[in-house]
Amino acid sequence: RARYQDGCWSDGELVPYGPLALDPAAKVLHYAQSCFEGMKAYRCGSGVGLFRPERNAQRMAHSARRLCMPPVPESLFLSAVETVVAHCANLIPGSSGESLYVRPFLMGTQPDLAVTASKAYEFYVIASPSEAYHPGNMRLWVEREDSRAAVGGTGDAKVGGNYAASLLSIAQLRERGYDQSLWLNPGNRHTVDELSGMNFFAVMDGVLHTPALNGSILEGITRDSILTLARDLGIEVHEREIDIDDLLALVASGTCSEAFACGTAAIVSPISELGDSEQRYRLAQAPGPVAQQLRAALLDIQEGRAEDRFGWMHMVQVA
Ligand code: PMP
């Protein structure tokens, strides 16, 4: 935990897990001045490794600036995360896909109801063992009503408000017979953006397609890694606008044979259906070969079975 007051960050300190003392008027509670990260530490060979943590530090700095918060210096971010991972390393389970999920969080704590940026902040990092989360074959509800992000809003930042805006759609998934919401671009309402916590990919005639970054999509670190791995494996990749109705027609005709989502929590997870209350379109291959190949390639690096050719693993000194 570290605090920001009078224009500077304190050194971080390791404190026992427990409830926070927050003033009921703390800005974060009323105006959602909060941002966070999601990252994982894996058993990597004989050590423990964080996956691309400097990218999380940079994305959190971007999120912080968007909400008028003082970015956590990269050195403080990394040392806090490393301290927590080293402390919790014995909690990381041993099977493939299992990891320690790490959640750095930054919020404005000043007790003041004026709609202005806080003058005081708290940054902390919590962690929890994570099973090999594999949602299986996900059915995606094409969300044509609600938006998780707005044009000119905070879609490309990892801030609490984006997730608040997605909760109502998520709450209705089960009764609708779906597992995840597929969010459309809030500006045009007809191109694909992403899932609530994952980026979207589709395979058409062996070519990988993913929505181009557009200001409302979160720039996933897994997305970036998948693009790098796919190119490295000789898979053609296109980052472009994907019209939802074109996509559904290509799924119906079989041209789009597989689709998957990716993120820190879900790694690479296959999609089996896309649709709404009237029509469902089944992907021919779920899981498909491209998703399986990319998931294996990524986990092989994260767990130290393959050489870390892109310098992605950040090994943590564990006592
Ligand atoms: N989109 C959203 C909205 C997310 O919350 C996440 C999870 N951080 C992602 C995409 C995937 O990002 P990453 O690969 O960095 O976990």
- Ligand 1: centre distance to CA 220 (Å): 5
Residue 310 included in any domain = no
pLDDT at residue 135, as a whole number: 60
Amino acid at 35: C
How far, CA to CA in Å, does 290 sit from each of 63, 229, 244, 302?
32, 11, 21, 18
Q: Are 39 and 88 in contact (CB under 8 A)?
A: no
Q: What is the mean pLDDT of each run of 10 residues along the chain (319 residues)?
A: 97 96 98 98 95 98 98 98 96 89 98 98 97 80 97 97 97 97 97 98 97 98 98 98 98 98 95 96 96 96 97 94
What whole-number distance in Å separates Cα of residue 82 and Cα of residue 78? 6
Element (H, E) at 244: helix 244-253
pLDDT at residue 134, as a whole number: 66
CB atoms under 10 Å from CB of 190, counted, come to 14
What whole-number distance in Å separates Cα of residue 153 and Cα of residue 163? 13
- Residue 213 is part of a domain; what is its CATH number? 3.20.10.10
- Residue 82 is part of a domain; what is its CATH number? 3.30.470.10
Q: What atom in ligand 1 is closest to the CA of residue 194?
A: 1
Question: Hey, whose CA ends up nearest to atom 7 of ligand 1?
Answer: 197
Residue 296 domain boundaries: 138-302
| Residues in contact with ligand 1 (CB, 6 Å cut-off) | 38, 158, 194, 197-199, 218, 220-223, 263-264
What whole-number distance in Å separates Cα of residue 309 and Cα of residue 120? 41
Ligand 1 pocket mutation pick from 133, 158, 192, 299 by most atoms within 8 angstroms of CB: 158
How far, CA to CA in Å, does 222 sit from each of 106, 227, 264, 268?
22, 9, 6, 9
Are 118 and 154 contained in the same domain? no
Are 196 and 282 contained in the same domain? yes
Complex ipTM value: 0.99
CB atoms under 10 Å from CB of 89, counted, come to 18
What whole-number distance in Å separates Cα of residue 34 and Cα of residue 122? 10
Residue 309 included in any domain = no
Mapped onto helix, strand or coil, the DSSP state of residue 66 is helix
Going by DSSP bridges, is the β-strand pair 8-9/280-282 parallel, antiparallel, or unpaired?
Answer: unpaired
pLDDT at residue 301, as a whole number: 97
CA atoms within 13 A on the CB side of 106: 34
Are 168 and 293 contained in the same domain? yes
Question: Hey, whose CA ends up nearest to atom 5 of ligand 1?
Answer: 197
Residue 316 included in any domain = no
- Ligand 1: centre distance to CA 81 (Å): 18
Which one, of 174, 195, 172, lies nearest residue 183 by Cα? 195
